[in-house]
Every structure is written in C-alpha cells, then in structure tokens.
Amino acid sequence: MQDRKVTTAEQSEERRPPQSGLSAKGISQALAKLHEAAETIVAATGQAFYVWNIHSDRIEWSRNFSRLIGLPEGETRHLKGRSFESMLSSQSQQTRFGVIVSAAGTNRADGPVPYQCIYLLHPVAGADTPPLWIEDTGCWYPDESGRPAHAEGSIRIINDRRKQEEDLRRQSDFDDLTCLPNRRSLEKCLETTIHDAESRGTVSTFMIMSLDHMDIVNDVHGFEAGDEVLRQAGKRVAARLRGDDVVCRFSGAKFGLILRDCPPAEVFDAATRLLKAVSTDPLETGAGPISVNAVIGACFLPRHGNTPKEVIGNAYKALRTVRGDVAHRVNVYSADPMKLEENRFKARLSAQVLAAIESDTVETRFENAGLTFRGAKLLELRMDFAREVQLEETGTASNRDFFDLSRELGLTRHVDLRALDAVLARLEQPGSDAYLLNVSRDTILDSDWMAKLATGLAATDDAARRLVIGITETFALSGKPEAVTFLKSVASLGCGIRINRFSASPAAFNRLQSVPADIVMLDREVMQWVENDPQNGNCLKHIESVAAGMNLEVHRPA
C-alpha cells in the first residue's frame, strides 16, 4: 500500500490562512469608509489629490477638487494636463508639466521622482474672484525608457502663506547701502505725516536732497568711493535731524526728508543747516576725502499734496527748478496756476496727438525744396493733422509744424516711427526720387527703430540707395560710441547720411572725417552770417569747396 502522510490538527491550523472576521464585501465597505474619511481630512485641510496619466494627458482628481477651488458646474479644463495649465495666471513662473519635464531631462529615472511647484490659478476665466496660489507636490513615475509616464500628487491652497511671505518682504524697508529707510518706508511715513498734519492743523515739510555730480565722483574715484559718499552723507544728515524727523534713501544720490512741524518760516534755515552738514567738511572715504555739494527741493504738508505721490512729485518739481539756478541751493514748490494750466493743456494735447498717430489720421506728403542727392530729386517728408482732427483749445497749435509740436510734447519717438512707415511705404513704389528721413536723438537709441528700418529696406530692391537719414551735428559728431555705431549701421545698410545744422567750423570738419556722411545741411546761422555781409560769400564758397574735397554734397536751408 502506498504510504499516506498524516497531517495533525496543529499542522492543519498553521496552514490555514488567517481569518479577518470580515467577508470580502465587509472589507470593501471598510476600505470605502477609510477612503471617505481620508478625503474628508484632506478636504478640511485645503488639499486635493490627483493621478495624471502623462501619455494620455488625462487627470483624475479627488472628489473634493471642484468644490475646493470653486470650479463652475460643467467645467472640464481640469481633466487634461495641458488645458489645466490654461487656467494658470501669466504671473506663474512654474507649471507642473514644466517642472516634471525639466527634471526628466536632467538624467534617466528608474523610480519615482519627487517634484514641487507653485503657481497662480484662475479657476473661473474672466471672473472677479481672486486667484488662488497653489502648492503642487507629488512624484512622477517613469516608463521603460525612463521618461515620465504618470504622476501622483496633491495640491494645497496657500493664499494665506503667500500673504504672510509678502508681508515679511514688505517689512524689509531699509536700504542695504546706507542702512536708512528706503522709499517704501518713506511713502508710509509721508502718509502718516500728512494725516497727522491734517488732523492737528499743523504744517510739516518734505524735502528731496540731491547730491551734485555723483557721476563724476564715481568716474574719478570709483563706485566704492561713491557708495561711501552716500553712506557718510546719510549719516551726517541724520545726525542733524530732530528725534521725530525722518531721512530715507529716496533713489540714486537723493535723500527724502520729513521735517515734522516745520512751518514755512523755518524751512530755509533748516535746509541750509542740512546742506552745510554735507558740504562744509569733505567726506572721508577709502579713496581719500571727497567734497560734495547738494541742492534741496521742498514742499509743505498738507498744503502741497494729500497723497505721498503728489507730495513727492511737487518736491521733485522744486528740485528740478533749483538745479538750473546756481545762485540758490534751496527751492520751495510754488503752485503757479498758469503753469499748472499749461501742463494740463500739454497733457490734453499729447493725448490728441497720440490718438491721431494711432488712428492714422495724420496726413503725410513729400515736398522738394530744390535739393538733390546723387543727381536725384530729394523729397522730404511733411506731416500734418488731417482736416477732420479738431485739436481742443489748441489756439494756433494746429497751424504749427507737426514735428516741432511733437518735439515740444516729448512725442518724437512716436512720430519718427510713423514717419519711417510712411517713407518705407513710398520706397516700395517704383521711381528714381530719393527721400529724406530726419531722425531725433531719442529715436536713434531705439533698437526697434533700427530693426524696422533694416527689415523694411531688405523687403524692397534699391530702397536703401534712395534713402537719406538726417541727424543733427550735435549728436552725429559728438564722438559718443552710440553715435558712431548708429552712423556706421545706417551706412552699412546702404543709406545716405545727412548731417543737419552743420556749423561748418574747422573742428566740425575735422570730426566729420571720422564718421560716414554724404551730405551736410548748413546751419541757418551760417546762412544768416553770409546774408548779413555780402563779403562773407567767399567764405561760403570756401566751405563748399572743402566739403567737395571730402566728397560731401552741401545743402543750404530754404
């Protein structure tokens, strides 16, 4: 007989799987309750979980996600990775996809890789609801090639934490260089001082002190010495103030000072005392003693402003005025009604001119004043307001030269760009005429203008040969690197160059030899000098002869 193994009761008990006391259905129900409890805890702490299949871009969220961030019913953008990112604000510097991909590009992953990113989420597009700062933390898992396959993680709303961090940053109200309060702190103090002066019926003074010629100090002695000058000047000023006065680093070589309960009768004495603190004795620096001077612009609170912005603006106007007056070092803001109205008028006029340029209601035409370039007729661009444009309260403004008016209003860059468009459009048309385009100094330093010029010329054959760029002698022959670079760039494009308002002095002719040029337009004063004395006509002939010897054409002003 075949032997049978005898299994004892104890051995049978050891082999039997342990009993949980629950059926399969009971276990499933227990797990469901545990999962529900976990989701409740997660929701209560401002979190939600997700699983993201990166290959299909599908995201599955915990049930509380839509309610947590306030998604409207029917919203589906959160169900795809890329469409979820469309809900992010432009202020976000990170995205989940970007963080994962950048980490995956670093090296091959064999296991889960942790990640964390913070972004600003707009749950409802175009709504007035505040955005949510989200902290996104999780791990991504690689596929067989080591690339991201799916990710699991959680999000947490951290608006309160971000606010605390912003508040901490704002508490850093001191300038690192001078150890004085910075401008943010100054504006807070100004707001308090204005309110206090209004409630108590007192007068306080705000000053902006500006150290003179700090650019020369930096050039001669170095920036480290310049920094020491600012530190020492700040200490001296602070030492002369009363206990409740304030001195702050305003900007650059400027200090902002608040003198509480300082009426108009005392302002000049106080300002003189502060100026002497800076200028009487040289400031000791590592580069040796350095002497500096300063000027002060002041205004009264609350008479000259009800907000920090208004007060600072008025004190700065006073400072700008005193800079042009070498006999005085202190100036108090004066609200000249005529000047204020003039500024308001200019502001309105500027808005109208800009609107005319942007709406293309500026008429352009090309005129010939009997000038030529390389044998071709030279046409100069003129611009005027269209007839339908009515300038409000402008008096004779509409009759003035458009370029002169724009220059006075500080709009030359806008006008120059519009003029460039008009000239390039004309050069696209067939013809042999040449065109003159005068350019201001502000526009010359604009890289966008030069790029637009180069692109426009490249689009039309023979356009550069028919274009002359006009620039004043003051800038063209200044010897500054930016001037030389501009002229060489224009010449490299194949354009002609005209030096406007040419003084015809020996020094000007000498400097002219070091820059590319094709034409000189004589200054009106040269022509007036010739017209006042017929004998000077020989000098004019000599000027033209010298120019011809340098292969330069000479234009006379009309």
DSSP label of 260 = T
310-323, pLDDT tens digit by residue?
999 999 999 988 76
The predicted pLDDT at position 527 comes to 87
Percent of the chain with pLDDT over 70: 86
20-56, pLDDT tens digit by residue?
555 666 666 666 676 677 677 777 777 899 999 999 9
The predicted pLDDT at position 256 comes to 96
The predicted pLDDT at position 473 comes to 94
Residue-wise over 267-298: b if at least 16 C-beta within 10 A, else e?
A: beebbeebbebbbeeebebeeeebebebbbbb
- Cα–Cα dist 365/347, whole Å: 27
Phi–psi pair at 179, nearest 5 degrees: 65, 20
- Cα–Cα dist 397/405, whole Å: 7
Is 391 or 57 the better-scoring residue by pLDDT?
A: 57
Spatial CB neighbours of 132, under 8 Å, sequence gap ≥ 6 = 69, 120, 121, 123, 157, 159
> Taking the chain, what is the end-to-end CA distance rounded to the nearest angstrom?
137
- Tokens 């490249």 sit on residue: 458
439-467, pLDDT tens digit by residue?
987 787 777 888 899 999 998 888 999 99
Domains and CATH numbers, the chain: 31-163 (3.30.450.310), 173-335 (3.30.70.270), 343-555 (3.20.20.450)
Residue-wise over 142-155: b if at least 16 C-beta within 10 A, else e?
A: beeeebbbbbebeb
DSSP string covering 511-523, please? HHTTS--SEEEE-
State the chain's mean pLDDT as an integer: 84
Helix (H, G, I), strand (E, B) or coil at 341: helix
The predicted pLDDT at position 354 comes to 80
What six digits make up the tokens of 521? 């337009």
Instruction: For residues 500-516, give the mean pLDDT.
Output: 92
Cβ atoms of residues 187 and 308 within 8 Å: yes
The predicted pLDDT at position 35 comes to 65
Spatial CB neighbours of 511, under 8 Å, sequence gap ≥ 6 = 477, 479
3-state DSSP of 109-151: CCCCEEEEEEEEECCCCCCCCCCEEEEEEEEEEECCCCCEEEE
Helices (H), 157-222: 159-170, 183-200, 214-221
What six digits make up the tokens of 533? 């004395």
The predicted pLDDT at position 326 comes to 52
Asked if the model's pLDDT at residue 19 lies above 70, the reply is: no
The predicted pLDDT at position 93 comes to 83
Asked if the model's pLDDT at residue 343 lies above 70, the reply is: no
Asked if the model's pLDDT at residue 123 lies above 50, the reply is: yes
Angle at 242 between CA 236 and CA 244, to 5 degrees: 120
In angstroms, what CA-CA distances link 33 with 20, 148, 407, 534?
A: 17, 32, 76, 110
Instruction: For residues 314-343, give the mean pLDDT.
Output: 76
DSSP label of 411 = -
Asked if the model's pLDDT at residue 6 lies above 60, the reply is: no
Helix (H, G, I), strand (E, B) or coil at 63: coil
Q: Please, which pLDDT band fits residue 523 given cuts at 50, 70 and 90?
A: very high
380-424, pLDDT tens digit by residue?
988 877 654 455 544 444 556 677 777 777 788 888 888 999 999
The predicted pLDDT at position 186 comes to 93
Is 265 or 379 the better-scoring residue by pLDDT?
A: 379
pTM check: above 0.85: no
Instruction: For residues 467-471, give the mean pLDDT.
Output: 95
